[in-house]
Amino acid sequence: MVGKSDGGIAGRMPKFIRRADPAVLTAFACIVLLLFLGSLYSRSFLSPEYLLQQLKVASFLGVIATGMMLVVLLGQIDLSVPWSVAAGAMMACAAAAYGPVGVALAIPFGIFCGVLIGVVNGIGVAYLRIPSMIITLATNAVAQGLMVVYTGGFSPQDSATRAMRYLATGFTIPGVPNAVIIWAVIGAAMVFVLTRTGFGRTVYGIGNRERAAYLSGIDTRRVVMIAFAVSGGLSAFGGVLLAGYASKAAQSMGDAYLLPSIAAVVLGGTSILGGRGSYLGTVAGVILITLLQSILSVMQMPEAGRQIIYGVVIVAMLLLYGRAPASR
Amino acid sequence: MKDWRYWLAEQRGTLLALGIFIVMFVIYTSNHPAGFTANVVQTAANKGVLLAFVAMAQTLVVITAGIDLSVGMIFLLTNCLASWLVVGTPMQTTLGVIAVLAVGLLCGAINGAIVIYGRLQPIVATIATGAIYYGIGLLLRPFPGGSVNEDLADALTGRVFDVVPASLVVLLAIVLVIWVPFSRSVLGRAAYAAGSSETAAYMSGVPIRRGKFAAYTLAGLLAAIGGLFLTFFTYTGDAAYASGNAYTLFSIAAVVLGGVSLFGGKGSAIGAIFGALAFRTIGDLLFVFDFDPLWQPLFQGVILLIAVSLGAFALFRVRNRLEWFL
């Protein structure tokens, strides 16, 4: 609609603003607003140390939200995040109990368990055509049951390996936490896959209309299954990092990541119906949510208030720019 | 075809759920150390009706092709609220009960308004409102506690004429007062029509918005009745995140077992009630067979997984491959 000859306001704006997604712009505007509000509350809010610390905390959510975004782009949802995160963390810590080999394999094993959960989700959604929110809720329950049996039946070695701690809290490049580097690498890979590969185009195609993608000769079911497997693996990797950060795994450590990971994706302008969204938006969503959480904890808001504000903010922002078209 | 065969085809899911429940309950009572006594039935009924109410709530929303992931949290919130309000003189207790039910109705109405008039996806909207309801519940009861009018609680959780569990009588009354009129009204039909094909219903001038709104609102009310009963059983209010989540999860399992289609437009709350009772009985089977209670979450999760996978049988009826990709 906005051509070069268009003399309207939009026509005179710089090109990068015209091309940007309004949702992503809104999300970044909200980040600036939150930083401003935070700096009113406390001077140290804008210090580099604090911001870097926030980025580090954000990277755990960032890794998990990357997988969620892939699934949401397909028009599906992954509600098995809580126990994929917990299973990844617990299984990685558990592997560490089996001698030097276990320590070496701890991280891959944790991720592998997440991939396994994701594959079950993928088979259910892609081949059995079960609605994703239902099958992922069910696998979440099964993963929870397995973990309860595991932690109750055996005595778990519940400390993270040195490698996990190093990944989550160490510094390879001075000043930049490793977790942030990991998020950057995973994010870059995701951007590459989504924009430069056939797989990425297929993901967008399926999200827009799976029938059309199928009719153009794409094995849509395999793509859906791979996406769920990746989502499970990334959730578990997020759990591994979290376990490294806290140096141990805990029962309900994943619960706090379900709503934020969905919210980050949706607030970043990815359509929950699939087929539309950019990774930049998800990055904005992740930072936005981390800042919101951080401000609430700096203000020493109790858990109850946090949950309420959190839900209200997400509903409000979705009403602002996440609405579905009216039925016609 | 005769009329009764149409009726049978329509009620197949409900009857199947009833069948599963009867089989499970027979296995349960025949292995129970106390056997089939009024006491065992009463305990089982009291546990079962909690899930039955939440499952009924979920059914109403699922019929419209939506999903309500906040039912468990409305259930928790009203439990916490009831532990403050449903106390004192009969007059105060009555007002308290009305207030609790009104709050449930309001929670449902908020969900409905956001989903229908705000045009947000039910999953995301109800996860977010669920967080809000849980937060308010936690505000009311940071620690488990409170009390309830024990006379009323004992009356509703005891036995009528020393035989029939009172909670089952209440469940029947709620079905007659809420479900039967709703499913036969224009609004109820509109809810079914919206779940079956929203576009077609919209074009035929069916009041789909009002129908869906009524479904979400009544779902809040039913979840609140469940919350009220939880208070009657435990005498306390407790904002336990895991328990709210579990009820949301189990309500979906009950709905599926009860033959309600998750794609909307098909099924009945009666089926969901039997689904709920059956799910509870299956979960309790572990205890009568002397298994370690640790295995219960896994067992329930696997039942849930199997129950939702049963929907895949519909694939065998698909003639054209394209129907997989609607």
Per the structure, the complete domain to which residue B85 belongs is given by 12-311
Cβ of A128 within 8 Å of Cβ of B208? The answer is no
pLDDT on residue B299: 85
Q: Considering the domain boundaries, does residue B66 fall inside one? A: yes
pLDDT > 90: percent of chain B = 23
B139 contact residues in A (CB cutoff 8 A): 304-305, 308
A53-316 topology per CATH = ABC transporter involved in vitamin B12 uptake, BtuC (1.10.3470)
In a domain, B27, yes or no: yes
CATH label of the domain that carries residue B105: 1.10.3470
Contact B183, B268 (CB under 8 A): yes
Strands B164-165 and B159-160: antiparallel
Q: For position A247, what pLDDT does the model report?
A: 82
Residue B5 lies in a domain: no
Write the CA distances from A319 to A65, A246, A267, B124, integer angstroms: 21, 35, 10, 12
The per-residue pLDDT for B77 is: 93
Tell me which chain A residue has its CA closest to the CA of residue B311: A130
pLDDT for the residue numbered A21: 74
Of A77, A134, A139, nearest to B262 by CB-CB distance is: A134
Does residue A142 surpass a pLDDT of 90? yes
Residue A4 has pLDDT above 50, yes or no: no
* In-domain check, residue B99: yes
ipTM for this prediction: 0.82
C-alpha angle with apex B111: B105 to B115, nearest 5 degrees? 145
pLDDT tens track for A239-271: 999 998 888 788 888 888 988 898 899 888 888
Q: Is A156 helix (H, G, I), strand (E, B) or coil?
A: coil
Q: How many CB pairs under 8 A join A and B?
A: 169
Cα gap A205→A203, rounded to integer Å: 5
Cβ atoms within 10 Å, residue B208: 23
Q: Taking a contact as any Cβ pair under 8 Å apart, which residues of chain B between 122 and 181 contact chain A?
A: 123-125, 127-132, 134-139, 142
How far apart, in whole angstroms, are the C-alpha atoms of residue A74 and residue A228? 10
When divided into structural domains, chain B yields a total of: 1
The region of weakest confidence among B129-143, B220-234, B247-261 is B247-261
Residue B326, pLDDT score: 58
CA distance A232 to A196: 23
Q: Residue A210: is its pLDDT beyond 80?
A: yes
Mean pLDDT throughout A18-31?
79
Query: Is residue B260 situated within a structural domain?
Result: yes
Residue B84 domain flag: yes
Is B229 part of any domain? yes
Domain contains B304: yes
pTM: 0.86
Which residues have a Cβ under 8 Å from the Cβ of B146 and sit 6 or more positions away? B80, B83, B84, B231, B236, B237
Contacts of B254 in chain A (CB under 8 A): none
Give the residue on B whose Cα is nearest the Cα of A213. Answer: B325
- pLDDT of A282 > 80? The answer is yes
Q: What is the mean pLDDT of the segment spanning B146-172?
A: 79
Indicate the angle between helix axes A220-246 and A99-122, nearest 10 degrees: 140
